[in-house]
Structure 1
Amino acid sequence: MDRRHCLVTGANRGLGLEFVRQLLARRHHVVATCRHPGKATALNTLAGEYPGRLHVLPLDVAEPRSHAELARELALVTDGEKLDLLVNNAGVLRGSERFGHVQPADLEASFRTNAMGPFLLVQTLASQIADGGTVANISSEVGSIALRQEFRTPSYAIGKAAQNMATSLLAQALESRRIKVVALHPGWVQTDMGGEQAALTAQESVAGLLQVIDHLDEDDSGGFLDWQGQTLPW
């Protein structure tokens, strides 16, 4: 498999960390970002095991100023090479919300992290993404308007629905450069967010997601797919 340059956000745990592991196993070069690299013990351990192929950089996806700082650092650690894959994985979920008690701060945090952040990050890094590359926005079926049948996690659902629109708009903005932009539902995964009762391990989910990414073509750009490649309704 050709070596590629990849960037993963929210890479200190869960799906993000597993993306890093599996991309490294494929012999790719990986830039892993998180808010507090000094506290990312597992990532820093991996960086020691893969010198020169894993770089851990700070990024708060909800803060646009952090995007510009990442762009500057990225050019240094990739030696000017373009990104073949950007995985927008960082997200936030506020659980246990009840109608009548949903807090403005939770809605705002979800929008900034789950929708605004990924959109603005791609906009900032666009010139550093290779023509024909891929942007994978880790979304959720919870953000599907068509599939909603109950009042559940409204801040998260609204943020992910907005992220899905961002995916569609980015796909159109980057179409001329053949950059594929997709929204991907990882399934119900055993992470801090998904809980121990979830159906999939992080390893299973990421392996499936990478297979989907591997087989994307330009017609898939702007689409909403799950970890098995099935199309989901908006």
Structure 2
Amino acid sequence: MPVRHALVTGANRGLGLEFVRQLLTAGDHVVAACRQPGRATALNTLAGEHPGRLHVLPLDLANPKSHAELARELPLVLGDDGRLGLLVNNAGVLHSGERFGTLSPAILDDSFRTNAAGPLLLTQALAPLLADEARVINLSSQLGSIASTTRFGTPSYNISKAAQNMATVLLARALAERGIVVFAASPGWARTDMGGEGAELEPAEAVAGILRVAGGLAASDSGRFLDWKGDPLPW
């Protein structure tokens, strides 16, 4: 079986770092993208432990120029015949402390550019480098489910994740002819910097579940919104 190439965004910590660890353990070649590779201590340590199998590259998901630079750099890492078999759009932002009456246009804009437009535009930029029948995982959240909303909280995050869910469906339609499966995955409430210490799930459990779900999806599943166990979530 040929070695798979995978790319993970927001790979310097939390779920992104755990995706990198588990993909390396599975034998994949991994490109780990983050804003400041020089400060990504854990990633650089992993790169030293897996020479030739982990490459750390810069990416500012909110900046389309950075997408283009990554797309130009990737062929040097993948080789002439290399294609990405897996793209994990994990990078995202959550602004805390938002209150109705004091919402900030700047925070809403930053959340949308990073959480919704970022994965959409990056996937578009990298589409020529995706293998046919590749998997694209967009890390979403149950907080992006309009039907499940019961209170006012983290509005810029919720709105941007709902928009990302629509972007996921659109990408699924755009890439369907190549058999590429795109889906929105909610990792549950995981113990990361974003999720906090009181969260229910270990990152390793959430990531293992999402990768298991990704591996079991058929072309007809493209565009779905699923939790880390593979159960459907309401839009």
- The TM-score range, normalised by the shorter chain, is over 0.9
Matched ranges for 1:140-179 at <5 A: 140-179=141-180
Question: How many pairs were matched up?
Answer: 234
Report percent identity of matched pairs. 66
| Alignment deviations for residues 178-203 of structure 1 (CA, whole Å, 9 cap, x no partner) | 00000000000000000000000111
Per-residue deviation, 1:38:
0.1
What amino acid does structure 1 have at the position aligned with 2:85?
Answer: D
| Alignment match, 1:98 | 99
| Alignment match, 1:26 | 26
Separation of aligned partners in 2, 1:204 and 1:180: 22
Separation of aligned partners in 2, 1:232 and 1:101: 31
Per-residue deviation, 1:91:
0.1
Per-residue deviation, 1:102:
1.1
Per-residue deviation, 1:3:
2.4
Separation of aligned partners in 2, 1:97 and 1:51: 43
| Alignment match, 1:194 | 195
The SS at the match of 2:146 is coil
The SS at the match of 2:147 is coil
The SS at the match of 1:52 is coil
| Alignment match, 1:67 | 67
The SS at the match of 1:7 is strand
What amino acid does structure 2 have at the position aligned with 1:134?
Answer: R
| Alignment deviations for residues 136-187 of structure 1 (CA, whole Å, 9 cap, x no partner) | 0000000000000100100000000000000000000000000000000000
Moved over 4 A (4+): none
| Alignment deviations for residues 100-119 of structure 1 (CA, whole Å, 9 cap, x no partner) | 01111110000000000100
* TM-score normalised by L of structure 2: 0.98
Aligned CA-pair RMSD:
0.7
What amino acid does structure 2 have at the position aligned with 1:67?
Answer: H
Matched ranges for 1:74-85 at <5 A: 74-80=74-80, 81-85=82-86
Per-residue deviation, 1:2:
5.1
| Alignment match, 1:10 | 10
Per-residue deviation, 1:96:
1.7
| Alignment deviations for residues 65-97 of structure 1 (CA, whole Å, 9 cap, x no partner) | 000100111000111300000000000001121
What amino acid does structure 1 have at the position aligned with 2:42?
Answer: A
What 5-or-longer segments of structure 1 have no aligned partner?
none
Separation of aligned partners in 2, 1:187 and 1:110: 20
Per-residue deviation, 1:219:
1.1
